Amino acid sequence: MKTIYLNPENLRHWQKEAQPNIMALGFFDGLHMGHQEVINQAKQLGMEKSLPVSVMSFFPHPKTVLSNGQKQMNYLMPLSDKENVLQTLGVDIFYIVEFDRAFSSLSPKDFVAKYLVNLGVVHAVAGFDYAYGFKGEGNMDRLKADSGGQLNVTKVSKVECRGEKISSSCIRKRLLNGNIEELPDFLGRPYEIRCEYDGTSLKLKPYYTLPAPGKYAVTLIGKSKSQEINVIVTDDKEIIAFDHLSNVNPLNGARLLTIRWHQRIGDETNYSFYENDQYYSLLNQSN
């Protein structure tokens, strides 16, 4: 898979390089089951038409830009994780558009011309509520007209779980409420965060969201080893392990570790595990 970062300075270059393709559109935070349905329909069209499949996303989140940084997003995954998942889904090209004030001011027709038609898109696929252009004035019902009839369009119907539309927002809500055991039904997999071990503690990598304070069953995954442990997420966004630190952290010397969240097993946020009068803090999000 090829990843291309698009901005006003290089857009013309990539327009010249573009070949006919099928494009899936969305922000795709978390790449949940609804997102996967959009991408799978694009892949099916790609196979039928013998064309490559591209995905277009945006960064940073529009809410952060349009609020002048006043609204900070609880991202579900960083761009690197999006790349990894999209590659496993069989995507050929991943476009990441730099979202800024100038981009947000594009009219719906200008967006479609510059970022779809001129990038070789012949068929666009997106969810039924996808919006584009200035103030989100563009929608799936007018996308074909905004392209001057040059695009075919597939509007993907709502994907539901537990009687609710699957969305990044509903997943964030469950995380922030601590309902992590429900997330595999929405994501298609358990929620994971990545962190870096510096020899003393684990530092959370950017663009992940910790679940609500409480006690959880998790798997700590290293380079070639994993370990089932229980942890507490404190009110200060610190993660405390119930296992001896020397047995948990190194995991065969791995520096990049993954925490896979399985189940909330208690509401308590106070911890009483001691070893030589020391608490074993695995991770402090504020560092």
One domain for residues 214 and 112: no
Is residue 114 one of the residues assigned to a domain?
yes
- CATH number of residue 257's parent domain: 2.40.30
- The whole-angstrom separation of Cα 67 and Cα 135 is 13
Final residue of a domain: which of 123, 139, 157? 157
202-223: buried (b, 16+ CB within 10 Å) or exposed (e) per residue? Answer: bebbebbbbbbbbbbbbebbbe
One domain for residues 176 and 236: yes
187 contact partners, CB below 8 Å, separation of at least 6: 30, 31, 32, 33, 171
Is residue 277 one of the residues assigned to a domain?
no
One domain for residues 173 and 105: no
One domain for residues 9 and 31: yes
One domain for residues 136 and 239: no
The residue behind tokens 């959880």 is 216
- CATH number of residue 93's parent domain: 3.40.50.620
pLDDT per residue as tens digits for the range 206-229: 999 999 999 999 998 887 788 888
pLDDT of residue 200: 55
Q: Please write down the HEC assignment for all residues of 136-150.
A: HCEECCCHHHHCCCC
pLDDT per residue as tens digits for the range 19-54: 999 999 999 999 999 999 999 999 999 999 999 999
Final residue of a domain: which of 136, 157, 178? 157
97-125: buried (b, 16+ CB within 10 Å) or exposed (e) per residue? Answer: bbbeeebbebebbebbbbbbbebbbbbbb
One domain for residues 145 and 182: no
One domain for residues 191 and 215: yes
One domain for residues 187 and 151: no
Is residue 287 one of the residues assigned to a domain?
no
Q: What is the number of other CB atoms lying within 10 angstroms of the CB of residue 144?
A: 15
Could you please report the per-residue DSSP string of 205-218? Answer: PSS--PPPSEEEEE
Is residue 279 one of the residues assigned to a domain?
no
pLDDT bucket at 230, cuts 50 / 70 / 90: confident
* The token pair that represents 31 in the structure block: 């790449």
- Peptide bond before residue 60 is cis, with ω within 30 degrees of 0: yes
One domain for residues 41 and 114: yes
Q: With contact defined as beta carbons under 8 Å apart, do 92 and 54 qualify?
A: yes
* The token pair that represents 203 in the structure block: 């530092």
pLDDT of residue 226: 84
Per cent of the chain over pLDDT 90 is 70
Provide the residue type at 168 as one letter.
S
One domain for residues 239 and 180: yes
Task: Give the domain extent around 38.
Answer: 2-157
One domain for residues 200 and 145: no
Is residue 236 one of the residues assigned to a domain?
yes
Is residue 281 one of the residues assigned to a domain?
no
- The whole-angstrom separation of Cα 258 and Cα 116 is 36
Is residue 112 one of the residues assigned to a domain?
yes
How many C-alpha atoms does 107 have within 13 Å on its Cβ side? 6
How many structural domains comprise the chain? 2
pLDDT per residue as tens digits for the range 152-208: 999 999 999 999 999 999 999 999 999 999 999 999 999 999 987 766 556 788 999
Is residue 283 one of the residues assigned to a domain?
no
Instruction: For residue 137, give the DSSP letter.
Output: -
One domain for residues 6 and 106: yes
What predicted TM-score, i.e. pTM, was given to this entire model?
Answer: 0.88
Final residue of a domain: which of 133, 157, 181? 157
